[in-house]
Every structure is written in C-alpha cells, then in structure tokens.
Structure 1
Amino acid sequence: MTKNTIERRNFLKLVGTGIGSLLTLPYYSSALGETSTVNRNRFKIGKPQWILHNDGTFDLIAGSMHLRNCRPTIDGQSIFVRNTFMGDSPKGKRIIYELDRGFVMLDLKINSGSISIGAELSGMSRAPYWFCPLGEAVVNGVKQYFKQGQGFGGPSGLYEFQEPSAQEFGNQPGEQAWAYDSYLVTGLISAEQETLAIGTYEHSDFIQKSTFYNRPHRRGLSDRYPDVEQILFETGFVTENIPLKDDFIKLPDIYIFFGNKPYETLQHLAWNISEQMGARKDTKTSYHWDSFNEFEHDFSHEKLTELLTTLDTIDPPIMLDTILINDGYCVHGDWLDYTDNWPRGLEPAARDIFQRQYRAGVWIAPFMVSEESKIFKRHKNWLIRDLNGEPILEWEFPEGKHYALDGSHPDVQRYIQKVFRAYRKMGFTFYKTDFMDWGLKPTVGIDRYDKTKSSVQIFTEVLNIIREEIGAGSFWITGTAPYAHMIGYVDAMRVANSLNCQWTEQGVGNMLQESYNTQYFNNVFWQNDLDVISLRNENCQLTATEKTSLANWIGIMGGVVSTSDRFSTLTDEQLDLWRLLIPQERPQSATLPLWGDNHQCKLVLRRYRSPRGWGLLILNDTEQTVTETFVFSEINEENNNWVYEWKLGESVDLGNLSQITLTLQKHESKLFYLTNGNDAPSEDLTISGLRLKKVYR
C-alpha cells in the first residue's frame, strides 16, 4: 500500500460540530498551585478464610462478607451423607462425604493470593447433571453481585439484590422468587466495596456456572407480607450426566480472589484465567472493513472491486488491515458453493484483496445449515435431533428454516475441517465465525452421534479443528458465541447485539451495557468487538451526535475498530474522523475509574504514553438531559489537570481544573484531553494515542 506523507491542511474535524449542549459554565477549578497526585487507596488482594464445621458444612469469610453453611449439592439438592471424614490436605483441609452410592471429596485450598475449592466424585457410573462443591451458601454482608452473561449479548452487570415487598396476589398463588446465573467470572461486593471474584481456570470440559437465588416466605392474610428471607449462592459445573470412566471424575478447581476494589478484583481473576488458558491477547488490534451492515446479503465481487478501487484513490489513504467478505456468498451450510454474485468463487476475491496488501477475511457459521442447502438435503443424520429422531429447528430466517450440525459426528468434523482448510488454501487469513452457540447443545434431551461426551468437550473438539486448519497466524474473530470455552482460540470476540445504524435499547443499549461490563476482560481474553462504526448519511437512522458518540466510544475502548461504510459515500469530515479512530497496533485498553458508582453518565479513561496525557470520554446514554459533576482525583488520581475540550483534530483550553460540571443531551458525549502540563493535544493525535504523521510517514 502506498504511504503518502499526510498533507498539512484543515481536515481534522469532528462530525457533528456544534450539535448538542456545551459544557455547563463556569468550569470549577481548584486553587492555584502545582498539579499534585492524590494518595489513593491502592488495589490490594486480601486473604479469605475457610472455616470447617463438625457436620461437614463449611463457611467462607472475607472481610465483612460471609458465606455460611456451605455444602456440596447434586442436581440442586444437598447430598445425603452416611459418614463425613475431615482432615488436612497438602494445601489446606479435606472433607470426604460417604454417600449411599459413592463418595464426594472436597479440597479447601489456601493458595498464594487466593483460595480454591476442588472436588472429586467416585463410585458413580454417571456424573450428575450439575454438581456444586459450594452450594446452598447463606449470603451475609453482600450488597451487590456481579453477573457475567454466558456470552454474546449478556446480560452482564452489577446489580443489587431484590427486596421483598408487601403485595396481594389475588386469587392466584404468588411469590417473589428469583434466581440469576453467572458464568466465567462472578462477583460478590460488600457495602465497603470489598469483592469476592469467583471462577475456574479450566473450561474445556464443562460449563462453570454460579447462581444467586432467594428462598422467599410469605405471611399474613392473602400472603400479603414478606417473611424472613434468605439469599443463597452456589457455584459449580454442568456435568450433563455423562458416563464416567472408572466411575470417577476430578473437576477443575474453582478459585476465589478477595480484593478491595470490584473492577480490579474481577480483572485480576480474568488475568489469571487468561494466563492459564493461553489467551490470544497480543495480536495486532483489528482495524477492518466488514461488508454486512452496509450490503447485508447483496455484496458481490463487483462491489468488492468498487470498494478496492475507492481505497486505491483516497488520499491520505485509509490504513485498513483487513477486508471481510461477510454473509451472502452462499446458501448457509454449503460454504464452498457460491451464489451468482461470486461467479468465480472467493479465491479470486482473496487474491484481489491480498494484492492491495490487506488481509482477506471470510465469514463462516460452521454449525449453521439452511433447509435449502445440499448438506441438509443429503445428510440429515448430521443434524442435532430430538429424541424422536427429528431435526430440531434452530431459527427461522427470511432465507428459510435453519438447523444445527452435530459437532460430535465424525463426518461433520471432517466437513468443517474441509471448509476451513479450503479457505486457508485460497489465501484467507482472517476468519469471522458466527452462531457458534448452535454448537453448544446440552447432551441431555437431544439425540446426537456421541452421547459419551459433554457439550463443551464436543464444542472444544470443533474449536481445535478450526484453529489447526486456519493456522496460528490467522486472525479469528467470532460472534454469537459463549465466552469461556473460546479463550485461547479466538483473537477477538463480539460482546453485544448489532447496532443496525439506529439507537435502540436492543442494539445500542445492549452494546453500551455489555461493553461497559466486559471491559475488564478486553485485551485480557481477546479484543472486544462492539460492532461496526457507522458514519455514513445514507441508510442510517443515527443522528450526527449519536454517530460521534458511538464512534468515540468504540474507538477509545481499545478493542476492534471496524466499519461497513462505503468510503466513496463519506464526506471529507467523516473520512477524517475514521482516520482518527485508527487503533494502536499493540492492544491497549481504556479503564473505567467510576465503574459501579451511581453516576448517570458513563465515563471512560484512556492513558497516552507519549505525550503523557489522558483521553476522557463522558457519555449520556439515557433518554433525558443530564447535568453531572466529575472530580478528577476520582478519575485519574490527579488533584488538578489541564483540561481541553477535544474534538479529534482540534481542542479548546478550559484551564487547570480539579473538577468539571457538564450538561449532556440524550445520547450526547464529550471528549476531553487531560494533561499535567499546559500542552494541548496535537492536531493529528488519534483517540488511541497514535500520531497520524508517524502512521503516514
């Protein structure tokens, strides 16, 4: 790709200049004096304790939090014990429970920086459907809980427990019972912000799940009043009743970290999981073009040629890494048979992309099969079926009914291997997989080829096939997927619903919630993908303010940056904004210093190394106008900052401030540049901290 020297001209302007409210005046500044650093309470890891009782129950104590009367449970019920034996183990204490049929052994371990609980089951021909080594724990001293969704779309977030209320249920029995599941990383937070983070390091065999639930009771006429109510907690594994070799199974340890800050404690556990599972967290940050949002199923080789011609002529050039051919090139399932839009197939397309010095990318949903496909018509025995042998309808698209392949079938595995091997030979080095959750079907209640393995074991076999075929150097991004089992395989993960170029609760609302509450694992497990940035005026219902807010949000977070816009339709200002969203090559995440507090607006901070400074984005994602004050000592640990209102490419000096008050209209955001000295951001400074002059040098 030709690299021209960037022209010195007034092209660095932000889309939507002048739209929305300005900052509330006056700005509040501290007394004159040198900027000083705040002596804040630093993140620390504490030491929780196990307490054993003579009846075989145990407690977990961490600061003011207390999980009482814990015990193992099988299929949601306390185990029935004939005898209990307790003693020491190499790293802590051991409890052995003798059951009518078999044994359960727990190891309560004390590790360096954490505690953990391990479990072994013996004398059982089959595993339970689910097993919790820590079950029926009565929760005390916990104000909030962090719930991590199983994957794409969540829901994830920090929540307070529901309070029971007086209520009449009329002539129907009623209750206020609830239960919330969490996966991969789970948090319990006290009123003092002490945090327990819970999760396992191994996700190749079983789903690890934690659940918060209540045990409600009512009193009074008409069940009007709430009575004494307990909040309970359990954590364990979905083991799916699979047969056990030698009537024995050893389950992964569940680790528990105790820290003084919620966000940092969750991230500390995430880093440990990342290291143990070999996460692909160091690949170059993706900056790519994706065909789907703009063209959907109507992309073609002709339109690809038009895109490449446009990119050849734009000056300064658009420094993309990858061109991704998304859905629409085939009937789903027949991944190597092409529609009329691609008369010569995808190999010539890959060559055209490669010749322009981009990665060639292709979209594949390996478990998806359309009823119109040859695979469906010829190989119905490859499909997931119900217990009557009938294929299970997975989803009905406008293109017809769709079904899921049985990943345990050897012929299905060979077919998936064939597809990815073929695309690698064609020259594709960027792969986007989708609808991966279709391949994670519980073994119980369905008819599949191999009934001896868990859904996770089968799913992992397919992941191994794909990564082996595409090669270690290929970039793999995935969507609509469970998180835990894909760590170590993928380079990027879509975390939320599609934006679809309009501001809706299901689209943008879900993206903002999930990106905010999964940022702790961005560039820890992989690069988070928040969907494409849309700047175009055509076929887009976002306002200019909303486009700017979403572009800055996605750009500053530090994950994948992508678009589907036809560059030929963008204005000069829109092209300039896209250039200023270029990410750092080496992954670098923003932080969320006010995560979990009670501000209405969302705040994101990105640190820049050279020159030393910070990018600060404050976004009002509510449906009303919001006025709020933010204190800098709570944001970047500086009593005072030189503050610039920053529109990428230009800035306004607001002075040396200790706090700032601003009013934002709905969906509006403000971007600021903070520094210790009175140094304005360079005109070519990108939101990731790059200098465009160096990029184009």
Structure 2
Amino acid sequence: MAPPTHWTLPAPPGEVRVLVSGYQSWSEAELRPLTERQSVPLMRWRHEQGHDPAFLPSGEAGVWRSHTLIALIRPDGGGWVGCAGDAAATFTHWEARAGEGNIKVTCTQEGTPTEVAWEETGNVIGTVEALAARLGQAMTARTPPPLRVWCSWYSYYREVTLGAVLDNARLARELDLPFDVFQLDDGFQAGIGDWLDPSPDFGGHARDLPGPLSELGFTPGLWLAPFLAAPTSRLAAEHPEWLLRGEDGTPLLAGHNWGTPHHALDTTHPEVRAWLRDLAATVRGWGYPYLKLDFLFGGALPGVRHDPTVSRAGAYRMGLQALRDGAGEDAFLLGCGAPLAASVGLVDAMRTGPDVAPLWEEESRRLWLGDATGPSARNALHTALSRWYQHAWYQPDPDVAIVRRERSLLNDEERGAVAGMLDVIGGLRASSDPLGGLDGHELGLLRRCLEISSPDRPRTLTRSLGGAVTHFGRGTFNLTGKAAEGIPAHGYREVPHD
C-alpha cells in the first residue's frame, strides 16, 4: 500500500468543475461545480450495492471522490487529469477538496501500488481520452464490435417464460429486426446461486432455449449473478465455507434485492473458483456463448477472505478470470454492477450506468435519500454520458431503449433522449420491449435505436444541462426539469450540420 500522493492546485474552487466516475456500473458519474455537494445514500444497503463501501462519496460540500480517473476543468477548458495506470490488483481512489483559494487533490491506492498519471493540460477532454486509452492498452482491453441485443427483463422481469422469449424471437424474425442476440434474463432459475435448477414458473429449462434461438438465426444469451448466493439457496446451505465473511465470522450481507438480502462468494477460495469455472462451462455447453454477468460487485466487497493476502481488486479479478476460463476465450462477456476498471481485459462489454426504466426518475429517492444509482432513464443518461471515454476499456452498454408507450411513463422527449444516448455512446444496442405490442411509429424508433454508431465526443466540459456531460458533437441533452438552450426538459436535440 503506497502512501497518499497530494497536489495543491492554484485555482479558485468556485471557477472549477470536477468530472468524477463512481466505483461500479451503477455508481454515479458526474460533471459538477467543485463547490457543490457529492451525495452519499442514506440507506446503508445502497453503500454495498451502489458504491464502494470502503470509499464512499464524501457527502460534504466541496469534496468529490472518484475511482480510477478524475478531472478538474477550468473555464477555458484546460485543467488537470489523474488516472490509474493499471487496475488488475489495485483500486485507485481520488479526492478533490476545495480549499481557501486553491484545490487539494489526494490519490490513495488499495492493493499493489501502481503507476498513476497526473497531468496539467490545456485540453481536458483529449487528456481524459488519452489516459483512459493508455489504461485500456496496459490491461489489454477487449473491444469487439458492438452487438444488438433483445433481453427479457424490462418486458417480463422475473415472470419470464421460455415461451415468451421464443414468441418475441419469432416476431423479431418476421419483422426483420436486426438483433444479433436474444438474452434470457433473471427469472429462469430456481434461486440466486442455484443456476442449474429451473424455476417452476419458467415453463421449461434454460438449456431448452439455445436450440430454437439458433435456428431462428440469433445468438443465445443468458443472465447470471455468479458472485451472489441467496441465504435460502442450496449453494449457501451446502457450502457455507464459500461465503465472504465479516470480522465476527458470520457471512456478510451484500446488498438487498429479490425481496431479500444476499451473500457474496469468496473468490479467493479455490473451490469457489472451480465452481465458477464449471458454471460458466456448463451454460456455455447448453449453447450460450453470450453471458451477462450481473451484480459482480459482490466479488470485491470488503470482508474476511480465505486468502487474506489477496487485495479486493485481485480477489475480484480471480473470480472473473475463472468465469472467463470456463466460458472460453471466444465467449462474449458483458459485465454489470461491476467494478469498472478492474474488469478491463476480461469482459467484452460493460454496463456503464444504472438500469434504464420506463420512467424518467424517482426524484424523491435521488434528492431525499441521496441515491441516484437506482433504475430510471435520467440516472442512466446522467452516468453513462459522463463515462463517454470508457469505450477504450470495453464496449460500453448504456442499457436498453424504451420505445413503447404502453406500460411506460416516458414521454416522446424522454424516449428520444434515451435513443440519443445510445447513438452518442456508440456501444451495445439493446431493447426489451414486448415486440408484439409495438405500433409502426414505435417500431421505427426501435430500428433507429438498433443502428450501430461510432462513439461521440463532448464538445465541452465547461457547461452542463443537468450535472453531467451533456454537450456532444452530434447533439445536446437537457437533463434538467425545464427548457434550456432551445431543448425541452428531459430532451435531446441533434446539432445541425451543414
């Protein structure tokens, strides 16, 4: 563990903006005035499930914490950028603190000390991109061509059935929709941790799906949360020694979902890694070369491990490597709820924001409870747009388009903003709408959302419509609640070109 590194910047805090990135997929990334306040959730379980509990957002005015990379931007577009050089066994934490007429920046590392870049620059956007690309190169980033995915989650949630997935796949083929992958999401399994046993409500077994999907010309995809185990699971009952533990020796709780808290697996335990390899190999053998690996933060939570000499980042990486080994080098792995930089080189794609939802936002949760890591269109845009540079680490996944009007609270402007996000991010394209309920207008928007594009770049980081990176080369987003710069609230407008 290296001692902290400090810099003092001769800049008035009131004139500087800060670009920060949270720890994992759902943690907030923002572009904010330095003197504002970084929110920390009031709910303790959101610390584990939405952030790094070992390095939480500050909760203080004028104090901003960031993971892996940070940038401070002067009004002229210049400023300072810091970025880790490697993240395979190390978490790099940044803190910027407003002082009296200056700014104090601190970098600390948890794990094996690694090189850290710190540069003053006249072009923060370009330097952020260059340092992020250097990290990607050092970790041998995997950036395959982006795929177009239909997933079951936002249509059926945990009530998904084998028949419903096949019905949508057949209709996609009839409508000539250009999906590459059909992904079976959460709901097929008996429980979290008991992945090989079917839910009695699924109407079959997950291994029954790849054959029909392949015959229709789609790549079969499957969702797993491989580092978690429900307290009621057979996995937890049969292998309690596999669970990550607290100082008192009891299994840790790793957040709360599916109506219950859940446990995390100790990925330093050799039997756990063997189980992870076997799990990935088994579902690959069923015919799933595309795996979405969710809730991966569980592999890096603070706790007492079988091998206490391994850092949290190293433990996480060991578990993810076991999954890669089992699935095969040619498998397509999509990470989600995952420590971002620590995944580079092992995943092909990564969710870079919270879940989209068929509503703009839960304002009370964000403002009163300090939590913007939950599902909403606003949260997804806010964070994914502010991580534009991470296409050098993997294919970014900003989550699904929501084009349906039924069973949705999004208006036309908000659906258009989500579509604009997909175009600007330029990574994976995904949808989860029930295809049989879409009218001609909605199908037209869906086809537009499935058009592959190259990643866009910000025009500026010196202004923002909503506390995020909002001004891009191809268009501008307005994430605020009222019209601004000729753009309606929650809207997106393309930049006119000659």
Q: TM-score, normalised by structure 1?
A: 0.62
**Structure 1 counterpart of 2:249, which letter?**
G
**Structure 2 counterpart of 1:525, which letter?**
W
Which residue of the partner structure matches residue 64 of structure 2? 180
Task: Name the SS of the counterpart of 1:278 in structure 2.
Answer: coil
Larger Rg belongs to: 1
Closer, same or farther: CA 422–208 of 1 in aligned 2, 3 Å:
same
Closer, same or farther: CA 574–373 of 1 in aligned 2, 3 Å:
same
Choose which of 415, 422, 429 in structure 1 pairs with 2:275.
415
Distance 1:323 1:598 in 2: 36
Instruction: Report deviation, 1:297.
Output: 0.4
Distance 1:551 1:149 in 2: 24
Choose which of 372, 381, 400 in structure 2 pairs with 1:512.
381
**Structure 2 counterpart of 1:345, which letter?**
H
- Aligned-residue Cα RMSD (Å) equals 2.4
Distance 1:294 1:329 in 2: 14
Distance 2:283 2:464 in 1: 49
Which residue of the partner structure matches residue 456 of structure 2? 590
Distance 1:578 1:604 in 2: 22
Does 1:405 find its partner at 2:265? yes
Q: Deviations over 1:619-641 (max 9, x none)?
A: 33221122x3xxxxxxxxxxxxx
Instruction: Report deviation, 1:214.
Output: 5.2
Task: Name the SS of the counterpart of 1:363 in structure 2.
Answer: strand
Instruction: Report deviation, 1:478.
Output: 1.4
Closer, same or farther: CA 376–594 of 1 in aligned 2, 3 Å:
same
Closer, same or farther: CA 200–665 of 1 in aligned 2, 3 Å:
closer
Distance 2:217 2:450 in 1: 17
Which residue of the partner structure matches residue 287 of structure 1? 148
Which residue of the partner structure matches residue 221 of structure 2? 361
Closer, same or farther: CA 670–255 of 1 in aligned 2, 3 Å:
closer
Cα contact 2:34–2:98 (8 A) shared by 1: no
Which residue of the partner structure matches residue 56 of structure 2? none
After superposition, where does 1:62-81 map in structure 2 within 5 Å?
none
Cα contact 2:465–2:480 (8 A) shared by 1: no
After superposition, where does 1:48-197 map in structure 2 within 5 Å?
127=1, 131-132=3-4, 134-135=5-6, 137-141=7-11, 143-162=16-35, 179-197=63-81
Which residue of the partner structure matches residue 119 of structure 2? 257
Task: Name the SS of the counterpart of 1:618 in structure 2.
Answer: strand
Does 1:571 find its partner at 2:429? no
Does 1:271 find its partner at 2:129? no
Distance 1:259 1:552 in 2: 30
Instruction: Report deviation, 1:231.
Output: 3.7
Task: Name the SS of the counterpart of 1:465 in structure 2.
Answer: helix
Distance 1:562 1:274 in 2: 24
Which residue of the partner structure matches residue 107 of structure 1? none
Task: Name the SS of the counterpart of 2:255 in structure 1.
Answer: strand
Distance 2:360 2:458 in 1: 23
Which residue of the partner structure matches residue 86 of structure 1? none
Instruction: Report deviation, 1:153.
Output: 2.7
Distance 2:313 2:113 in 1: 14
Q: Deviations over 1:252-298 (max 9, x none)?
A: 221233431111110111111111111112x1212110100110001
Which residue of the partner structure matches residue 173 of structure 2? 312
Instruction: Report deviation, 1:421.
Output: 0.5
Which residue of the partner structure matches residue 476 of structure 2? 618
Closer, same or farther: CA 141–673 of 1 in aligned 2, 3 Å:
closer
Task: Name the SS of the counterpart of 1:394 in structure 2.
Answer: coil
Closer, same or farther: CA 287–153 of 1 in aligned 2, 3 Å:
same
Instruction: Report deviation, 1:380.
Output: 1.4
Cα contact 1:421–1:469 (8 A) shared by 2: yes
Q: Deviations over 1:356-380 (max 9, x none)?
A: 1111100011111112210111111
Cα contact 1:151–1:480 (8 A) shared by 2: yes
Instruction: Report deviation, 1:558.
Output: 0.9
Task: Name the SS of the counterpart of 1:336 in structure 2.
Answer: strand
Farther-moved stretch of structure 1 (563-572 vs 303-312): 303-312
After superposition, where does 1:513-592 map in structure 2 within 5 Å?
513-521=382-390, 523-584=391-452, 588-592=454-458
Cα contact 1:371–1:403 (8 A) shared by 2: yes
Does 1:437 find its partner at 2:305? no
Cα contact 1:301–1:341 (8 A) shared by 2: no
Distance 1:359 1:485 in 2: 27
Which residue of the partner structure matches residue 241 of structure 2? 381
Which residue of the partner structure matches residue 393 of structure 1? 253
Cα contact 1:310–1:567 (8 A) shared by 2: yes
Q: Deviations over 1:633-684 (max 9, x none)?
A: xxxxxxxxxxxxxxxxxxxxxxxxxxxxxx3332233335523xxxxxxxxx
Cα contact 2:30–2:382 (8 A) shared by 1: yes
Task: Name the SS of the counterpart of 2:420 in structure 1.
Answer: helix
Closer, same or farther: CA 577–231 of 1 in aligned 2, 3 Å:
closer
Closer, same or farther: CA 211–549 of 1 in aligned 2, 3 Å:
closer
Moved over 6 A (4+): none
**Structure 2 counterpart of 1:255, which letter?**
A
Distance 1:672 1:202 in 2: 36
Instruction: Report deviation, 1:512.
Output: 2.0
Which residue of the partner structure matches residue 205 of structure 1? 89
Which residue of the partner structure matches residue 670 of structure 1? 493
Instruction: Report deviation, 1:148.
Output: 2.1
Task: Name the SS of the counterpart of 1:545 in structure 2.
Answer: helix
Task: Name the SS of the counterpart of 1:674 in structure 2.
Answer: coil
**Structure 2 counterpart of 1:618, which letter?**
T
Distance 2:217 2:31 in 1: 44
Task: Name the SS of the counterpart of 1:335 in structure 2.
Answer: strand
**Structure 1 counterpart of 2:125, which letter?**
Y
**Structure 1 counterpart of 2:377, which letter?**
V
Which residue of the partner structure matches residue 164 of structure 2? 303
Task: Name the SS of the counterpart of 2:262 in structure 1.
Answer: strand
**Structure 1 counterpart of 2:184, which letter?**
I
Cα contact 2:160–2:202 (8 A) shared by 1: no
Distance 1:180 1:502 in 2: 28
Q: Deviations over 1:435-475 (max 9, x none)?
A: 11111023xxx332111111111111111111122222221
Farther-moved stretch of structure 1 (335-344 vs 558-567): 335-344
Cα contact 2:478–2:490 (8 A) shared by 1: yes
**Structure 2 counterpart of 1:287, which letter?**
R
Which residue of the partner structure matches residue 319 of structure 2? 462
Cα contact 1:285–1:583 (8 A) shared by 2: no
Distance 1:412 1:176 in 2: 39
Closer, same or farther: CA 156–532 of 1 in aligned 2, 3 Å:
same
Distance 1:674 1:189 in 2: 27
Q: Deviations over 1:116-144 (max 9, x none)?
A: xxxxxxxxxxx5xx632x23x33323633
Instruction: Report deviation, 1:345.
Output: 1.9
Cα contact 2:67–2:93 (8 A) shared by 1: yes
Distance 1:312 1:519 in 2: 32
Q: Deviations over 1:220-259 (max 9, x none)?
A: xxxxxxxx576422213113xxxxxxxxxx7322123343
Distance 1:401 1:578 in 2: 36
Distance 1:555 1:229 in 2: 40
Does 1:233 find its partner at 2:83? no
**Structure 2 counterpart of 1:422, which letter?**
T
Task: Name the SS of the counterpart of 1:251 in structure 2.
Answer: coil
Identity of aligned residues (%): 20
**Structure 2 counterpart of 1:153, which letter?**
W
Closer, same or farther: CA 672–211 of 1 in aligned 2, 3 Å:
closer
Does 1:349 find its partner at 2:209? yes
Which residue of the partner structure matches residue 327 of structure 1? 186
Closer, same or farther: CA 255–163 of 1 in aligned 2, 3 Å:
closer
Does 1:448 find its partner at 2:305? yes
Q: Deviations over 1:361-404 (max 9, x none)?
A: 00011111112210111111111122221112223334433111
